Structure 1
């Protein structure tokens, strides 16, 4: 990676290494070169005993990161057969797991908009900070895609069915609800974020948190837990929609309307992915599953159509195919989880198993 690329600003100060996603006009959307640059910085700092803490933030005042560069994925799927997207996801998902397993403390400044790929580079960290401006979401079903970057791992482990609600609707949550869902750890007023980040150069994270973190304001999800848990525990997306419409709660009715606007295929695959993720042991196993799902979605109809409707033409009127939930077969859903073949698999779980067995033998 040559240094003329300033899409990620990398610097060290005292005991901290700072990574700043630096495409503020694109809401710091992640590109493949950005993923590589972050990985290179983590390589260097892993070997540098002077660096004890890594801080990940975003440039500008609108957010940490709005996700991956989905326009590029759309163009690649249409013209290039998806090879560039698969290569991007391969490196991106490896980076997500690397952040989760990094031997030094990773602090994520989840201020403003944190969506999709932005969740992937922050919510797997050790210390995840939200502010009154935070809007955290996995909005993939709205573009005919399925939560990835470890999103199905995180959302399958929320209290009750909160994660199912967030994954299927793509709803954004504020700071308190992010804390409730286990997507974040501490609340800081946004005005104190720069001081907190700077303090990490000279002090340990616990001390800095003691100085700057405050109790979070009230959230919304906890008072809706009853209908969320009751409706989203259903066995199928069709039944979830039925329960939402019948519950008599205004929020439930709105959720049902949201679901009816989403890609039927993406909804069914997302529900299956979440339920499967609950039964998988490690983040690596879930990421391997997400990679299979993403690669399958890449060559399907709805992802290209969803990005066209939301980002390219902006008509907000995607023509999903199939257009109805009942027309998405169980076989079609199952197809997304098929093994890709030895050379095509992401292979993170296998890699981790061989590493741990080497450690045991050693």
Structure 2
């Protein structure tokens, strides 16, 4: 989050501010009152700019940042998704198709893509930042994939990223939706560098004049201590269980207050979403490249759009805000293997098909 103004002329009502300065190009998510939540037009605008800059020899690096003081991006516009799901619409499926294509584009981008992950970075915000080649977190960063709390499943390549986290840390974050700070984001592979938030304006400004590595050398510091490293023993043991029910049982039996709290958190989430998330993570580990995982996530997201729990979860957390979702089924043991398998069923003519690069192009900065 930087307050320095773009140097060229803009319509101040645009939701994505796009400009170039020197050797850098800048994308600023500009919906601060909505915590820079992504809309479909924003996704398309970002893709358009990235595609143009990829072949522009004057652009040597791309910088992503969020307007305002609260965060880079809180995710997608879930009110719009709620209305779509409630009325049986298909607009969300179209949004996800383009959003996941953008996530893959960012992951394969041929130039340094510097994501300033200051403040809240959740859901779709992770998708437009954590697939980048240079991911910067600050002491204010709160990175999360909180989808199980609204009856949804981590998407935007989140199951890919979390499946790659050390041990079972990613499983813990995916099932509970717990946010992590800078050190834990670094530990989990969701970020690369820690920079104090006060230094971000200078960092962004200097990228217009100097190579990324030179700018990073001036500003990167050691992150304040996190909490997950010390919890690895119980996390790795408990979340290695074969089923969600057994994970909860192990958490209850661990004799660690944090494990007990994790069990309480997990059992408050959508039981269906928890089981589908666990299955999605474990399948992601076997699928290979990001593109294959995004294709799987698209199947899961489209199935969730037709589910009871997504409508109910958003209602309880965002629309009515009573924080009392009535999940159906209401308990983990009532969610059958067939219930889970339905989320992974082929979409036939409606499948998302992404082409994985034969090998990642090396990005030099």
Name the TM-score, length of structure 2 as normaliser: 0.94
Q: Does 1:44 align with 2:48?
A: no
Q: How does 1:140-289 map to 2 (within 5 A)?
A: 140-289=147-296
1:352 CA drift (Å): 3.3
Q: Does 1:302 align with 2:309?
A: yes
RMSD over aligned CA atoms reads: 1.3
Alignment check: 8 A CA contact 1:55 1:197 kept: yes
Alignment check: 8 A CA contact 1:154 1:183 kept: yes
Q: Is the helix fraction higher in 1 or 2?
A: 1
2:351 corresponds in structure 1 to 345
Structure 1: which 4+ aligned runs deviate by more than 4 Å?
A: 2-5
1:47 CA drift (Å): 2.1
1:223 CA drift (Å): 0.4
Which deviates more, 34-43 or 157-166? 34-43
Distance 1:248 1:198 in 2: 49
The SS at the match of 1:125 is: coil
Distance 1:212 1:33 in 2: 34
List gaps (5 residues or longer) in structure 1: 358-362
Q: 1:75 aligns with which of 78, 83, 86?
A: 83
Q: How does 1:347-362 map to 2 (within 5 A)?
A: 347-348=353-354, 351-352=355-356
Alignment check: 8 A CA contact 2:74 2:121 kept: yes
2:21 corresponds in structure 1 to 13
1:360 corresponds in structure 2 to none
2:92 corresponds in structure 1 to 85
Name the count of aligned residue pairs. Answer: 350
1:82 CA drift (Å): 3.1
Distance 1:294 1:8 in 2: 25
1:3 CA drift (Å): 6.4
Alignment check: 8 A CA contact 2:157 2:294 kept: yes
The SS at the match of 2:344 is: coil
Residues 306 and 155 of structure 1: is their aligned pair in 2 closer, same or farther, counting only changes over 3 Å? same
Alignment check: 8 A CA contact 2:36 2:73 kept: yes
1:4 CA drift (Å): 7.8
Q: 2:334 aligns with which of 314, 327, 339?
A: 327
Distance 2:189 2:144 in 1: 13
Alignment check: 8 A CA contact 1:73 1:82 kept: no
Distance 1:5 1:30 in 2: 15
Instruction: Write the deviation string for residues 229-273 of structure 1: whole angstroms up to 9, x where unpaired.
Output: 000000000000000001000000000000110000000000000
1:43 CA drift (Å): 1.7
The SS at the match of 1:352 is: coil
1:63 corresponds in structure 2 to 71
1:26 CA drift (Å): 0.3
Distance 1:5 1:272 in 2: 41
Alignment check: 8 A CA contact 2:289 2:356 kept: no
1:5 CA drift (Å): 5.4
Distance 1:114 1:76 in 2: 24
Name the TM-score, length of structure 1 as normaliser: 0.95
